[in-house]
Amino acid sequence: MKILITNIKELLQVREDGIEKVSGKDMAVLPSLQNAYLLIENNIIADYGTMENCPDVAGVQTIDATGKTVLPSWCDSHTHIVYAGNREQEFVDRINGLSYEEIASRGGGILNSAKKLNETSEEDLYLQSRSRLEEVMQQGTGAVEIKSGYGLTVEGELKMLRVIKRLREEYPVAIKATFLGAHAFPAEYKENHSAYIDLIINEMLPKIAEEKLADYIDAFLETGYFSVEETERIMEAGKKYGLQAKIHVNQFTAIKGIEACVKYDALSVDHLEIVTDEDIEVLKGTKTMPVALPTCSFFISIPYTPARKMMEAGLPLALATDFNPGTTPSGNMNLVVATACIKMKMTPEEAINAATINGAYAMGLSKTHGSITKGKRANLIITQPLTSYYQLPYAFGSNLIDTVIVEGKVIS
């Protein structure tokens, strides 16, 4: 199937092949073409250019994009889309003054979600998760990472990862699966951390590897959750099964977790609401992508990742939703981009780079996703008519998406 998009007011994120990510000052540069066309053949970007060079292609479906902007679909590198039920009561508890830590200490938080998940059938879990995935695709997401971590038992974790596998098989969106058995310590292991980590390493990991259910491994490296030493055990075990690390770190405290992640060649370090000068120095020159989750900060009223300080130090940055039932019940990347501009003082160019090419890198997908590049997947957002792409974060409450194309197919 061929699709020719014509009269594009502005084609954003046009990159030559081979650019995997952008860092520092380069994040402020968003290459574009005015009055452009783009040709899709099957599921690939076959050609693009200015309208004066638009080819005459036989047997093609034409989309007239007069007044509209076209950009790569969002690449959301950190989600927990597969979960059961919700945590609406905790939302009200926070309004009434309880902190995240206080809610968790009362049996809420991750353990609350784990209880619900283990009481939910695999089929029901799939149906709940499917509706969320469809929603984020309609909102412009064309690649997404999904974590386990609400099972916290052998069967619960396997159930989650099997649902992720089924979603990957049944939907055109690119999905990466991350094993997050080290999300929290179940109540029965509260006083015996080592035994739970043994369960992860000796029982969960071999079964996950046998069924090929995960691409990455994760842990919640944080005070009151998994220590640096405990996380290192988990990263080391994941490495033996070919699972590179993507780690939750520095959400509430800085305890030299980033240093440990870099030592183990983590693909990404995610959250980073608290970042020290030492952390920034550790990240310089590495292949580890820092990932900010601004709508999590918005929803639970915690600090925002210091994006300006990090980019001025020459670091790259990706943006993701953290879509989960407790701290970010939204997978809307448009809101993430707007929040990054409004609250983290990222420019629209920086935020779009962070949500496309750098998000793809944080999932190991930069060779196929995240930019308008010949040979990459045809995953695109066609906006409604805009005065400029600055409208995307400026009109933060409006749906400015007209059409989403995933793997060369129009989905909305």
CB count in 10 Å sphere of residue 136? 22
Per-residue CA distances from 56 to 4, 52, 59, 183, 412 (Å):
10, 11, 10, 54, 26
Mean pLDDT across 365-384: 97
Amino acid identity for residue 41 in this structure: E
Q: What is the percent of the chain where pLDDT is above 90?
A: 92
List the beta bridge partners of residue 410.
405
The 10s digit of each residue's pLDDT in 153-189 is 999 999 999 999 999 999 999 999 999 999 999 999 9
d(CA 28, CA 400): 22
Query: Phi and psi (nearest 5°) for 352?
Result: -70, -40
113 versus 133: the higher-pLDDT residue is 133
Residue 105 has pLDDT above 90, yes or no: no
The 10s digit of each residue's pLDDT in 322-362 is 999 999 999 999 999 999 999 999 999 999 999 999 999 99
Q: Are 71 and 402 in contact (CB under 8 A)?
A: no
pTM strictly above 0.85:
yes
pLDDT of residue 17: 83
Q: Are 204 and 179 in contact (CB under 8 A)?
A: yes
- The 10 Å CB-count burial string (b at 16+, else e) for 200-218 is bbeebbeebbeeebbbbbb
The 10s digit of each residue's pLDDT in 187-240 is 999 999 999 999 999 999 999 999 999 999 999 999 999 999 999 999 999 999
List the beta bridge partners of residue 32.
12
Smallest CA-to-CA distance from 218 within 156, 277, 286, 150 is with 150
pLDDT of residue 18: 83
pLDDT of residue 412: 65
**The CA-based dihedral angle spanning residues 252, 255, 257, 260, taken in that order and rounded to the nearest 10 degrees:** 180
Mean pLDDT lowest among 65-74, 101-110, 205-214: 101-110
Smallest CA-to-CA distance from 108 within 300, 293, 277, 251 is with 300
406 versus 16: the higher-pLDDT residue is 406
d(CA 255, CA 295): 23
Mean pLDDT of the chain: 96
